[in-house]
Structure 1
Amino acid sequence: MTPEDRFPGPEHPDSGPRHQPDLDVLPYGTYYEPEPTGYAEAAYESETYSGYGGARWLEQHWPAGGHDPQAQAQHGQHGQQDHQAQAQAQAVQHGGHAPQAAHPGYEPTLPDMPSPAHGVEDPPTIELGPPLPEPGVPYHPYPAPAPNEPPGPLYVVGDVHGYLDELLAELRHQGLIDADGHWAAGRSRIWFLGDFTDRGPDGIGVIDLVMQLAAEAAAAGGYCRALMGNHELLFLGAAKYGDEPVQSTAGTASFLAAWRLNGGQQHDLDRLEAHHISWLSRLPAIGLEDGHLLLHSDTTAYLEYGDSIAAVNDAVHDLLADEGVDEWWDCFRRFTKRFAFRGDAGPMAVHELLDTYGGTRIVHGHSPIPYLTGAVHADDGQPPHIPGPYVYADDLAVAMDGGVTMEGRLLIARLPI
């Protein structure tokens, strides 16, 4: 298991019986770097980077699940100070405001993955619907696209994990929102690849923003859509089932315990409302756009839920609506598996999904690029350098989780790349 997704049981980070990759073989691929756009923070190195390796950094650098309460308390104090200072600096760079301090008594849930200590005020509830004009200002809706008009450009967004400020900054950088955080992309199409909450400071704020952009994009003739990630399943399960026991490979567990272990933030759970639950529960598990098969997880587990995109999405929705806690837990566990597309068998696993669901290339989140490539282990102790999305598995797979939770980047890319 990676520290990115941990829950009770001796889980394997691959995708089970299908095409198990050698965990010592890292994928050979290339980082994709978009052309500079003049954005001050986008002055990345001009060279691309190809990564290949075979060290046992997986076992060496993924910490065990044990916790030292005293060490956790000490780490929480220092982590709060360090992350708050970093967040304040980033907010100033992006032209925003420094986040407020966390409420008293708040502590990170994982000592090896410190949760950001800063919190934000609860944003107002954003209702679905077109953007409303200011009082006294005439409302001019965007014109609907002509019948034969081609669709707008296609973008994908990697895992956000509650990092609202970083998401806003990158959306502005790409010209997809304006300075006030409203849709500015016309008829563009955006797909979020899932994992809106956990570990970061404002998961509910991220969900509210995506719901807002979905309404505003529709009014502009474009759209903003999202996939269901394994953390959506975990978050919803924690809200629905709490401490109700489930059967895991290590004995009895619960959604709430697993959610906390995986960076769940209590203030997100406290702010979760009925319209959030309704929206999250209806997210699809798979999408297909312009030949790109869009998945959250780099796993073949989707094949266990149907042989078409509609069948998989219906199966997941039916499970969430009607099945019990053990079936929900099993679904979460299956979509938490990873690394099916790396190693010698990776291209075969990609082809199996493409042959079943369509498309010519898979675009996924879930597995942070630093773990996928081994860049998490830097000899100089510096944060991993993530120039952009990572293309691998014989150029058949694109990884979009830039590791924002581990000082990497929140990635947004225009397809195709």
Structure 2
Amino acid sequence: MTPEDRFPGPEHPDSGPRHQPDLDVLPFGTYYEPEPTGYAEAAYESETYSGYGGARYLEQHWPAAGHPHDVGHPHAAQTEHGGYEPTLPDRPSPAHQNDDPPTIELGPPLPEPGLPYHPYPAPAPNEPPGPLYVVGDVHGYLDELLAELRHQGLIDAEGHWAAGRSRIWFLGDFTDRGPDGIGVIDLVMQLAAEAAAAGGYCRALMGNHELLFLGAARYGDEPVQSTAGTASFLAAWRLNGGQQHDLDRLETHHISWLSRLPAIALEEGHLLLHSDTTAYLEYGDSIAEVNDAVHHLLADEGVDEWWDCFRRFTKRFAFRGDGGPTAAHELLDTYGGARIVHGHSPIPYLTGAVHADDGAPPHIPGPYVYADELAVAMDGGVTMEGRLLVARLPI
């Protein structure tokens, strides 16, 4: 487990610092660096391009020396065993938590007042679908997301859909750690409507941080049972980079949209997951069964079942090492597809390039292909000064 996901549970018996994975267990893999499109190559080096932005979140909250709770985590207390257990802060009051959320119509975008609206032409009979793209973990870095989508030619200078019948899948983790998680969600919802009007689509998967964010909003500081001691969704969310201003701005239509996201999808032979784990197998033998099970859990089950789902989908690194290809085949044989595309685990941790000797940010030229080319990692580590990745499939 990397130090970026922290919560008391079986996979985290100690809340102390996490060590980098040993290099000798890392798989052989390669970077994929696509040809530049849209912007000139110099855009990567310009001051206005923020694809390598970041808040040095790991360094600020989990420094290499000293205990991680020495910085930035006031809601923690030392136990008699020397570990740390989050204290239960005051519970916020999410607005309209029990209201029936409105239905979100995916209609065409509204034009500016006074300007004519020119819809995209309807697709011709037997016209093939547009190109397929995937987007890695965003974690609230709205400016980086806008810059990369513009770089790929998928949105215009005003942030509106410009990709015609293209298709985009976001792999989850919209919020936490970065400055504007709600802004990211609003953008993806806007693009979903605009893409549908253009004959394409913009869709998204549910990540473990969606489960955590929704759990913090719904259950607050209600205790959950953990082998490391009683904790709460709200405490775990804060320890994992939750931003109070995101929770304050969360509305019923956000909750409705996030709660209905699928956990897994299959597109043109690509099995799309958020987490690099085999825990999906515990929720069903088909994609439909997994998604139905997660949606049923979010709608009807209690706090402990919700917590267990979050805990399972926070596991990682199933496809690295000698057993990685076997684990990948297990998922592919069950759900279909020829290759897994996932987010969740930052590429710098998969490759061991978390910190360069000269202190420079990790260099992430593109998606990382590994596990005998059965897996593609898409989390470029934007929270640790890596890169927010958008890539066209197939790679």
| TM-score in terms of structure 2 length | 0.83
In the alignment, the residues of structure 1 paired with residue 143 and residue 366 of structure 2 have an alpha-carbon distance, to the nearest angstrom, of: 19
In the alignment, the residues of structure 1 paired with residue 83 and residue 101 of structure 2 have an alpha-carbon distance, to the nearest angstrom, of: 22
2:294 matches 1:316: yes
Contact 2:173 2:206 in 1 (8 A): yes
CA 1:321/1:31 → structure 2, altered by over 3 Å: closer, same or farther?
A: same
Contact 1:369 1:400 in 2 (8 A): yes
CA 1:204/1:127 → structure 2, altered by over 3 Å: closer, same or farther?
A: farther
Report the 3-state secondary structure (helix = DSSP H, G, I; strand = E; otherwise coil) of the residue aligned with 1:370.
helix
After superposition, residues 5-16 of structure 1 pair within 5 angstroms as: 5-9=5-9, 11=11
> Equivalent residue for 1:31?
31
CA 1:10/1:356 → structure 2, altered by over 3 Å: closer, same or farther?
A: closer
After superposition, residues 74-223 of structure 1 pair within 5 angstroms as: 128-223=106-201
Report the 3-state secondary structure (helix = DSSP H, G, I; strand = E; otherwise coil) of the residue aligned with 2:202.
strand
In the alignment, the residues of structure 2 paired with residue 346 and residue 15 of structure 1 have an alpha-carbon distance, to the nearest angstrom, of: 26
After TM superposition, give the deviation of residue 146 of structure 1 in Å: 2.6
After TM superposition, give the deviation of residue 144 of structure 1 in Å: 2.3
In the alignment, the residues of structure 2 paired with residue 246 and residue 58 of structure 1 have an alpha-carbon distance, to the nearest angstrom, of: 26
- Can you give the 5+ residue segments of structure 2 that lack an aligned partner in the other structure? none
After TM superposition, give the deviation of residue 141 of structure 1 in Å: 1.5
Contact 1:116 1:200 in 2 (8 A): no
After TM superposition, give the deviation of residue 140 of structure 1 in Å: 2.1
Contact 2:167 2:201 in 1 (8 A): yes
In the alignment, the residues of structure 2 paired with residue 205 and residue 29 of structure 1 have an alpha-carbon distance, to the nearest angstrom, of: 34
Q: Deviations over 1:191-248 (max 9, x none)?
A: 0000000000000000000000000000000000000000000000000000000001
After TM superposition, give the deviation of residue 181 of structure 1 in Å: 0.3
After TM superposition, give the deviation of residue 331 of structure 1 in Å: 0.1
CA 1:299/1:275 → structure 2, altered by over 3 Å: closer, same or farther?
A: same
CA 1:261/1:287 → structure 2, altered by over 3 Å: closer, same or farther?
A: same
CA 1:19/1:148 → structure 2, altered by over 3 Å: closer, same or farther?
A: farther
After TM superposition, give the deviation of residue 143 of structure 1 in Å: 2.0
CA 1:125/1:380 → structure 2, altered by over 3 Å: closer, same or farther?
A: farther
Alignment RMSD, CA only?
A: 9.0
CA 1:176/1:98 → structure 2, altered by over 3 Å: closer, same or farther?
A: farther
After TM superposition, give the deviation of residue 36 of structure 1 in Å: 2.3
In the alignment, the residues of structure 2 paired with residue 384 and residue 262 of structure 1 have an alpha-carbon distance, to the nearest angstrom, of: 21
Report the 3-state secondary structure (helix = DSSP H, G, I; strand = E; otherwise coil) of the residue aligned with 2:20.
coil
After TM superposition, give the deviation of residue 37 of structure 1 in Å: 2.8
Identical columns (%): 93
Report the 3-state secondary structure (helix = DSSP H, G, I; strand = E; otherwise coil) of the residue aligned with 1:332.
helix
After TM superposition, give the deviation of residue 4 of structure 1 in Å: 1.6
After TM superposition, give the deviation of residue 123 of structure 1 in Å: 19
CA 1:238/1:115 → structure 2, altered by over 3 Å: closer, same or farther?
A: closer
Aligned length: 392
In the alignment, the residues of structure 2 paired with residue 219 and residue 331 of structure 1 have an alpha-carbon distance, to the nearest angstrom, of: 34
CA 1:299/1:99 → structure 2, altered by over 3 Å: closer, same or farther?
A: closer
Contact 1:118 1:201 in 2 (8 A): no
After TM superposition, give the deviation of residue 125 of structure 1 in Å: 14
CA 1:57/1:328 → structure 2, altered by over 3 Å: closer, same or farther?
A: closer
Greater shift, 338-347 or 57-66, is seen at 57-66
Contact 1:189 1:222 in 2 (8 A): yes
CA 1:13/1:384 → structure 2, altered by over 3 Å: closer, same or farther?
A: farther
After TM superposition, give the deviation of residue 39 of structure 1 in Å: 2.3
Contact 1:152 1:188 in 2 (8 A): yes
CA 1:53/1:42 → structure 2, altered by over 3 Å: closer, same or farther?
A: closer
In the alignment, the residues of structure 2 paired with residue 398 and residue 109 of structure 1 have an alpha-carbon distance, to the nearest angstrom, of: 38
| TM-score in terms of structure 1 length | 0.79
Greater shift, 375-384 or 170-179, is seen at 375-384
- Can you give the 5+ residue segments of structure 1 that lack an aligned partner in the other structure? 68-91
Q: Deviations over 1:155-207 (max 9, x none)?
A: 00000000000000000000000000000000000000000000000000000
CA 1:306/1:99 → structure 2, altered by over 3 Å: closer, same or farther?
A: closer
> Equivalent residue for 2:232?
254
Report the 3-state secondary structure (helix = DSSP H, G, I; strand = E; otherwise coil) of the residue aligned with 1:156.
strand
Contact 2:283 2:289 in 1 (8 A): yes
Contact 1:18 1:300 in 2 (8 A): no
In the alignment, the residues of structure 1 paired with residue 334 and residue 18 of structure 2 have an alpha-carbon distance, to the nearest angstrom, of: 14
In the alignment, the residues of structure 1 paired with residue 61 and residue 302 of structure 2 have an alpha-carbon distance, to the nearest angstrom, of: 36
In the alignment, the residues of structure 1 paired with residue 19 and residue 83 of structure 2 have an alpha-carbon distance, to the nearest angstrom, of: 46
CA 1:101/1:45 → structure 2, altered by over 3 Å: closer, same or farther?
A: farther
